[in-house]
Amino acid sequence: MIPVEVGDPTDPRLADYARLTDVGHRVRREPAAGVFIAEGATVLERALDAGFTPRSLLLAPNRVEPAAALAARVAAAGAPVFVAGPDVLERLTGYHVHRGLLAAMDRRPLPTIAEVLAGARRVAVLEDITDHTNVGAAMRSAAAFGVDAVLVTPSCADPLYRRAIRTSMGACFTVPWTRLERWPEDIALLHDAGFVTAALTLGERAVPLDEFVARRPAAVALVLGSEGDGLRASTIAAAAVEVTIPMAGGIDSLNVAAAAAVAFYATR
């Protein structure tokens, strides 16, 4: 398989890779165009293993040989493989592509909420998280600690954004997840499905995490809030219980991805 050489960063065949550092542009364009970007060999391999369909592969010249097997998989799926020099890659994407491998992949329709909740006993809700690395890290912990599904609120950052995927090490491809349509109204769907909704907060009325775990709820939804303000007051009011991770050392709160990891581990 011989990659097609491209020397012009404005070549329309590379449009999926344009302005990768322009977050505002990418978060609008990618879901609308039904595309996401897999960066690096490991992430691409996991995306292919998870059954995602490639649209194209773009390699730096020094990645053509090491990525030959992956390129063959992409070509076998009917997608073109391009090679472009470092200058072209940098002008196209807006950054120095040091991994030298980018793949444009087709998104799949998200499952329905009912589908991801079916058979689940432990789920997480990520409310309005803005930082893609936090979303990716939470997804990685969800996979590591056996959380059955993740629900993201309408304003939460995209789990299939390049940086979220990279931080998750591909867990965004394997953990069942979907986007809620109305929040916090959709918390009623969790209650109807039998979940005890636990709002993770720093509130004084909150039950310590160990105490909550000792109650052994049959099905639990762990609801985590945004980096700045934490959970909305309306979400806390609608949740069945407030749960806190006791802090020491004068630290008032954990980063949301760290809090997710602790809560996922404790409730495993």
Ligand X SMILES: C[S@@+](CC[C@H](N)C(=O)[O-])C[C@H]1O[C@@H](n2cnc3c(N)ncnc32)[C@H](O)[C@@H]1O
What residue ranges bind ligand X (CB under 6 A)? 200-202, 224-225, 227, 229-231, 244-245, 247, 253-256, 259
Nearest residue to ligand X, using CB?
A: 230
CB atoms under 10 Å from CB of 266, counted, come to 15
Identify which of residues 39 and 242 has a Cβ nearer to ligand X in the complex: 242
Between CA 5 and CA 141 the distance in angstroms is 39
Nearest distance from C-beta of residue 262 to ligand X, angstroms: 8
Q: What is the nearest approach in angstroms of ligand X to the Cβ of residue 226? A: 6
Which residue, 6 or 259, is less far from ligand X as judged by CB?
259
Give CA–CA dist 263/268, Å, rounded: 8
Task: Indicate if the alpha-carbon torsion angle 232, 236, 237, 239 is positive or negative.
Answer: positive
Q: How far apart are the C-alpha atoms of 239 and 260, rounded to whole Å?
A: 17
Closer residue to ligand X (CB): 1 or 237:
237
Q: Which is nearer to ligand X, 40 or 225 (CB)?
A: 225
Angle between helical axes of 41-49 and 68-76 (0-180°, round to 10): 30
Beta carbon nearer to ligand X, 141 or 244: 244
Q: Residue 95 or 265: which CB sits closer to ligand X?
A: 265
In the bound state with ligand X, the residue whose beta carbon lies nearer, of 62 and 255, is 255
DSSP annotation of 85 reads -
Q: What is the closest distance, in whole angstroms, from the C-beta atom of residue 111 to ligand X in the complex? A: 24
| Rounded-to-integer distance, Cα 236 and Cα 127, Å | 11
Least distance in Å: CB of 128 to ligand X?
9
Least separation in angstroms between CB 154 and ligand X? 17
CB of 230 to ligand X, least distance (A): 2
Q: Based on the number of CB atoms within 10 Å of its own CB, is 225 exposed (0-12), middle (13-18) or buried (19 or more)?
A: buried
> Please, what is the minimum distance in Å from the beta carbon of residue 239 to ligand X?
11
DSSP, collapsed to helix, strand or coil, labels residue 165 as helix
Tokens of 251: 């630290």
The four Cα atoms 148, 255, 95, 44 give a dihedral, to 10 degrees, of -20
- With both helix axes pointing from N to C terminus, report the angle between 256-266 and 132-144 in degrees, rounded to the nearest 10: 10
